[in-house]
Structure 1
Amino acid sequence: MHTRASRYVSLLTGLALFAAALWGVSGCGGSQKGADGGTDVLTVRARQVAAAWGGSTAAAAWRAGYYPMGETVQLPRGGLHGRADQRAYEDQNFVLRGTLPGSGPKDGQVTWAGGTSLTRPLVGALESYKTLAGTRVGGKPHLAVTRAKLGEMSVATSRGPATVPAWLFTLDGYASPFKQAAVLPSKLPQPPIRSSRGVPGYPINRLVGIAADGRSVTVVALHGVCDEGAVVDVLESKGSIVLSASVKNQKHDGNCTKQAKMQRVTVQLERSMGDRVLLDARTGQPVTYKGLRGTSPSRS
């Protein structure tokens, strides 16, 4: 959920213990050689991350929390009316033409199939509206909010689809509401392994999509101006999916500038993602969902 600070994102054991911890970890895509020449460095690091997370306190916390893995907003039924309204939404150009509810319940229930639930703090209507409106005031085109009420919506999470409290904003000219989740995500668990600066490439920037069948994930990876794009390798285990980003055919000459480009990359999985945690090999942290804004066209 895009609210508050998130707008809301060493394994040092004996060789025998390390080998035992890696039991059952398999890689998709062969030897996982880095496209920029990182070769086995990426593979070793990915295995370390998978082993560190396996059976860890962090993994247990991840499976017990509320972590959105898809959009926490829902457009009015039928979508927005034309390019002007779409542009207003993308530019976060909203105006308030009414009074929003004041104080309400402090907490709400996130509910999953089977009746499992979790109590999480709620964001107020005004705070939720401010995350939609951004910093722009007025201007055209814009979307006008006339009122809001507390309701609910469905959100894709790390534990499957969940029903969560949501603010239902009435937009001028629309018969159905614009919904935004009102419940705060759980705090990300402390990774059981430290970030590694010795791994080539960049961290995965964000998750932007999971296939309906769970057999692929789309992420944003970073690359430079003097290479042929980003490559993402995957190491799958029973409890995790570790992604390692590298670049293809990187040039090392004096004319390259230090800037990063965003690129969408779709990664195929051997089996459905399920409730496995998606991890970045370089940082050792979960790869969280942040949406599509600011990304370049997809390359698989």
Structure 2
Amino acid sequence: MLTRPFRVLGAVAVSGAVLSVAFGCGSEEAPADSAAAPSLTDRARQVAEAWDGSAAAAAWRTGYHPAGATVQPPRGGLRGRADERAFEDGRFVLRGKLPGPGPGPGPRDGWVRWPGERALARPLVGADESYRTLAVYRAARAGEPHLTVTGMERGEMRVATSRGPATVPAWLYTLDGYATPLKQAAVRPSKPPRPPIGRARELPGLPLDRLLGTATDGRAVTVIALRGACDDGAIVKTHETDGSVVLLPSVKNRNDDGSPCTSQAEMQRVTVGLERPVGDRVVLDALTGRPVPYKGMRGSTP
């Protein structure tokens, strides 16, 4: 199994801040090669055994669970660092009005479609709610980078999901200066099923923060793991079965010499290679026993 960690410096590129949680030296996590490692490995096996063939796994495979970007920039990407920064910070300016609900009640559900499978109806997200999740800051001071929305209409987009690529309803944003729209998925993900196993209270460590995406060939996943101020970074190992991919988060070379540490955890982006493509296997966190939630770089879908 290949684990390839690299830092998001200062956690700024992920969240704009350091996540404050209890992560003191000598208390939260053990090195990967310590005596605690077999316990985490045993826990991974227990999680896989609980999920494989379970009703929760069956429910997961029939739902709509994004595993890739639900917001896609215009074709060719954003132009220049100023526009990229505006998108990352959620700085948008609206020129005009958002689409209203239209005459009559209208459809409340949209259809998520997978090739060769039955379509799934999911509740639609309105234009105003969609825009609020995209535009965290809906005004810009003079000189601040921002993107200007000049129009918005319904359309479709492709989204990577736990069941493979799907075509979903989307809001298409016309941006000033761009020939093609920015797209945002306009249906709500399915509620995760109740896990068949509880959280491991007796094991040290912090759960994975989020799933960022899956490689095009399905043979790697990228997650945000948490590391402390007194270690050399997060590592994520895997336990794979036919029905699940269990991720085992830990840290390496933690300082246990008693020197003071800050009680903070930093986010670190980690790409984990897999023995075979993910397919429709459930990607699970060994510590929580739950599917690793997809949020992407700018948070979750509406």
Give the TM-score normalised by structure 1.
Answer: 0.84
Match of 1:69 in 2: 67
Superposition deviation, residue 148 in structure 1: 0.8
Match of 2:189 in 1: 185
Match of 2:123 in 1: 121
Superposition deviation, residue 37 in structure 1: 3.9
Gaps of at least 5 residues in structure 2 are: 1-30
In structure 2, how many angstroms separate the alpha carbons of the residues matched to 1:117 and 1:270? 30
In structure 1, how many angstroms separate the alpha carbons of the residues matched to 2:227 and 2:168? 36
In structure 2, how many angstroms separate the alpha carbons of the residues matched to 1:249 and 1:83? 36
Match of 1:80 in 2: 78
Gaps of at least 5 residues in structure 1 are: 1-32, 295-300
Does the 8 Å CA contact 1:208/1:219 hold for their aligned counterparts?
A: yes
1:89 and 2:87 are equivalent in the alignment = yes
Superposition deviation, residue 254 in structure 1: 4.0
Superposition deviation, residue 292 in structure 1: 3.1
RMSD: 1.6
Does the 8 Å CA contact 2:94/2:138 hold for their aligned counterparts?
A: no
The amino acid of 2:108's aligned partner reads: K
In structure 2, how many angstroms separate the alpha carbons of the residues matched to 1:149 and 1:136? 19
Which structure has more relative contact order (CA 8 Å, sep 6+)? It is 2
Does the 8 Å CA contact 1:34/1:42 hold for their aligned counterparts?
A: no
1:247 and 2:269 are equivalent in the alignment = no
Superposition deviation, residue 106 in structure 1: 1.3
Q: Give secondary structure in 2 for the equivalent of 1:226.
A: coil
In structure 2, how many angstroms separate the alpha carbons of the residues matched to 1:129 and 1:207? 23
Match of 1:28 in 2: none
Match of 1:281 in 2: 286
In structure 1, how many angstroms separate the alpha carbons of the residues matched to 2:259 and 2:202? 22
Where in structure 2 are the equivalents of 1:160-179 lying within 5 Å?
A: 160-179=164-183
Q: Give secondary structure in 2 for the equivalent of 1:39.
A: helix
Does the 8 Å CA contact 1:231/1:248 hold for their aligned counterparts?
A: yes
Pair 215,39 (structure 1): closer, same or farther in 2 beyond 3 Å: same
Match of 1:42 in 2: 40
The Cα offsets for residues 131-166 of structure 1, whole Å up to 9 and x where unpaired, read as 111145222211111111110000000000000000
Does the 8 Å CA contact 1:67/1:157 hold for their aligned counterparts?
A: yes
Superposition deviation, residue 246 in structure 1: 0.9
The Cα offsets for residues 160-196 of structure 1, whole Å up to 9 and x where unpaired, read as 0000000011111111111100000000111111101
Equivalent residue pairs, number: 262
Q: Give secondary structure in 2 for the equivalent of 1:152.
A: strand
The amino acid of 1:172's aligned partner reads: D
Where in structure 2 are the equivalents of 1:228-243 lying within 5 Å?
A: 228-243=232-247
Match of 2:263 in 1: 258
The Cα offsets for residues 260-290 of structure 1, whole Å up to 9 and x where unpaired, read as 1111122121111110000000000001222
In structure 2, how many angstroms separate the alpha carbons of the residues matched to 1:138 and 1:206? 29
After TM superposition, which residue ranges in structure 1, 4 or more long, deviate above 6 angstroms? Answer: none
Pair 278,230 (structure 1): closer, same or farther in 2 beyond 3 Å: same
Q: Give secondary structure in 2 for the equivalent of 1:126.
A: helix
Among 100, 106, 109, which residue is 1:107 paired with?
109
Match of 1:222 in 2: 226
Q: Which moved more, 1:75-84 or 1:108-117?
A: 75-84
Q: What is the percent sequence identity of the aligned residues?
A: 64
Give the TM-score normalised by structure 2.
Answer: 0.83
